[in-house]
Structure formats: structure tokens, C-alpha cells
Amino acid sequence: MYSDSTTTETATRAAVSAVDISKTYGEGEAAVKALCTVSIDVAPGEFLAVMGPSGSGKSTLMHLLAGLDRPTEGNVYIDGDNVTRMKDKELTLLRRKPSASSSRRSTSSPSSQLRRTSCCR
């Protein structure tokens, strides 16, 4: 759950929002941290590019934001719904319905910001 009203309001307005998400594959000495403490808000109608070198977590980030994978830590919201806590059936139903955000036009300037990252390596 969100920790303060500012974050809650942001996620409610955002088409997609991630709050302090991290993803680790494997366990123990074999663990690989693919993404570390990332927060981002994407406004309805906004386009953005995710760029970085090979192995920097771009695909992992996109899979988490789309609800195709679950973060090890943090939460992902699509149209204000916390997809991190959804069951597989709920996620399937969410993917089938048109996004409420996709039908809204953004009247504001691009506002997504990668609020915080920390290096995993």
C-alpha cells in the first residue's frame, strides 16, 4: 500500500506506476539482481523510451510494468489497481479489458520521472 497521500494521488492519475520495485532471480549465491529500487509514473497518453546497455534491466522493467512478472519487492499499479497483489485470473481479466487510461487524452506535458534508482552491482 502507498505510504502517503501524495504517492496515492500520483498512482491514481498515472496509467502505470511502480513504487520501489526490485527484481531478483534465483537464491543465495546464485541470486541475480536484475532491477533495484525503481519508481516511475507514466501518465495517460504519455510515450517514453527505456534505454540502457545490455543487461541493465530494461526488459525486466517492462515485464514488471505490464504485470507479466511480479517484483521481488515494491508494487506496480495499472490504472490505480495494484497488480502486484492480483491472482493470475485477475491479471488475465485485466489484460483482456481495454485500459481506462488508453481512452483518455493527456492534456498535461510529459511528466514521468524515474524517481529513484540504486545500482545492483
Task: Please give the helix or strand (H or E) that residue 5 lies within, else none.
Answer: helix 5-13
Write the pLDDT tens digit of every residue in 93-108.
888 877 644 444 333 4
The answer as to whether 121 is a domain residue is: no
Write the pLDDT tens digit of every residue in 17-41.
999 999 999 999 999 999 999 999 9
Write the pLDDT tens digit of every residue in 80-96.
999 999 999 998 888 88
pLDDT at 116: 42
CA distance 19 to 75: 5
The answer as to whether 10 is a domain residue is: yes
Q: Cα–Cα distances in Å, from 103 out to 5, 12, 106, 107, 114?
A: 26, 15, 10, 13, 24
pLDDT at 65: 94
**CATH number for position 99:** 3.40.50.300
Write the pLDDT tens digit of every residue in 38-60.
999 999 999 889 999 999 999 99
The answer as to whether 93 is a domain residue is: yes
Q: What is the pTM of this model?
A: 0.73
The answer as to whether 9 is a domain residue is: yes
The answer as to whether 33 is a domain residue is: yes
Mean pLDDT for the stretch of residues 53-73: 94
How many domains does the chain contain in total?
A: 1
The answer as to whether 80 is a domain residue is: yes
Question: Domain range holding 103?
Answer: 5-116
The answer as to whether 99 is a domain residue is: yes
The answer as to whether 78 is a domain residue is: yes
